[in-house]
């Protein structure tokens, strides 16, 4: 089993480019996992990996 990676939602692809411009490196490029949902992983300059998910089906107003 792969080690868990902390994750964060991503509402637009522009944020991805901003992370990279600030020094993050691509650990795993975007992967379409179906229904418009895409995941990716970036690594910060210290090697910490952050998982990203872009989910057009997610409704933030449904979260309390």
For 6-44, the pLDDT digits (tens) are 677 766 667 788 889 999 999 999 899 999 998 889 998
Q: What is the DSSP letter of 23?
A: T
On whether the pTM is more than 0.75, the answer is no
Residue 1 — very low, low, confident or very high, per pLDDT cuts 50/70/90?
A: very low
Q: How far is CA 52 from the centre of its chain?
A: 1
Give me the phi and psi of 62, to 5 degrees please: -85, -5
Q: Which of 15, 22, 21 is nearest to 54 (CA)?
A: 15
């Amino acid at each position: 089993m792969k080690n868990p990676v902390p994750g964060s939602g991503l509402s637009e692809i522009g944020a991805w480019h901003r992370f990279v411009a600030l020094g993050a490196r691509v650990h795993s490029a975007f992967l379409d996992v179906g229904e418009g949902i895409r995941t990716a992983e970036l690594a910060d300059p210290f090697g910490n990996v952050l998982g990203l998910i872009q989910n057009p089906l997610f409704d933030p107003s449904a979260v309390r």
